[in-house]
Structure 1
């Protein structure tokens, strides 16, 4: 491997960090965010939710376990760029099939190493997530003013519709492990491979569908439940997906959403969403499950959240689909981390119960989805004449 070249990280507010190239040499621009996970970096980098984000790893030593084909959550590395302090010289793990720097280069991911990631994380925490560019090789020698102009020319995350850029282009099916018990239509908004695998372990046949799938196609599958995955972008831009979800709720088909799917359930119910100052990202976020009183340590990756009317998350709100409650709440900042509907079979969480690297405190939510589907009527409407909110009074 050739010697690293000079590299610079230029933040939207003009702050500059110098370092060395790591991964591909060139330039990249995205939203700078930090992730506090100390393990599972490969799952993070291959999570489509990180599309168009420059990820700062707060753990100082990255790459020590290498990379392997089993830990890929999708078909490629999705992060727009990577910032690390101390990359491993060589991987040392019995599962390793290669080193991280080579994998980044093969996927064209521009990174920078040798950065004081503690200072950078504190800066983002104080100033908020912002656009940033990583520039290495010859381009790193250009003036800061020139590089900063490229950062400012990049689109902001707020207002960006990105699910269509990461979704599958063709439907595919993940077959159940053992006996087929249930069928789920899963809308891929940036789905991770572990999600349908965990459903399959519970006897579920999972039809993974493109983000632009119509309700007619969902109805053809006659699913026992509908699932909306995690994904990147601003939920306020997802008009088509929200319209589909409302038709699912009208039909009373059991629904479960994760992350982006949680935000879309909120908007389908008539709630607003907003951008968090610097978001929640990492494997160590405490969340309270109000149904059980249990505190879960959970994995997060979200920069948007649901705005709860009135601000008191202990109080339910009335929606077009009946009452909705906050089922889970973040203990660090009281952000809404889950919704449950009282009058229709629908619930969602903002975090990741499918986190392959752990923790696994929230994996029970897939069992809750199974329970919701088995308790619901198994006759979703098959023709347009049976649709509509009027069915809720039946």
Structure 2
């Protein structure tokens, strides 16, 4: 009942005030009209019967006007109550929908933020791994000057090659993906076995590169010494390649390819530059010669293969999650459509309410127009004085 119906100047007029003013104005107008007519009829009436009949007619008219005014007031009160109830229900429904949408959007944004933080964390971990690898390469390049003295002793050389190889593998791979000094069925023990996915045989790595002949070759002072050192290095290298092939390339137990680790980039470059025939012989024997950088690159390739295999194992889980995500998106789309329908219905109800309030405003302006009442009074006076004029004539 406190809803604003119209504004006059700086004052807001409510439905109740408008109905009260309209009733009061109608009552005063009716009383004034009745008093004036009664006064004229008493002064001009010819007989008491005519005056009583006129008074009775006026009283009937007054009763009908009061009845009409009461019905109008009741209808306006009913419309105001209906309008307030519908507006309250509409606001409650809109607030409920907005709260639900806000909760869902907040949950979605929180989940997206968590996924973003997780992705950034993984990127930082990868960058940390790359930084460690770069520091390792820098440290290795700084120790090149000491490599010759280390490689002069056979035991020290073997321990150095084994340590370099183990450091690279431990830094790049998970502990469950490799094993050191494992025993094969022929009682041979490769320096490292890289476990392959899907039950495939492991990859053998040997870190005992024969450097005696190579050191003799580097220390030769005469042509004769150079030839002898070169022949010795070829015999040692060929025998070591043959030993790797016989000990570590076991059909069904290991891969048909093995790695021969060279712990020095300079030795690896010298080998490929001066003894290309030995490198090709190793390739034909299914033995791949790798330097520290090539071993790291090979391990990265193996890691990619392991990740791909793990992704394939988890493919059905990923597909199931994608299916759930599609279902959630479909449900969200349906709920947004329903919410749009509710908004459309609410807009239609508001349009109907505005039409009703416009009609009420027009009827209130007609009631406030007093000129209509004065014009009706003048017409009644003319009708009542016409018989008197004719009788006097």
Question: TM-score range with shorter-chain normalisation?
Answer: under 0.3
Q: Report the structure, 1 or 2, having the larger strand content.
A: 1
Q: Report the structure, 1 or 2, having the larger helix content.
A: 2
Larger radius of gyration: 2
Question: Normalising by the residue count of structure 1, what TM-score does the alignment of the two structures yield?
Answer: 0.22
Question: Normalising by the residue count of structure 2, what TM-score does the alignment of the two structures yield?
Answer: 0.22
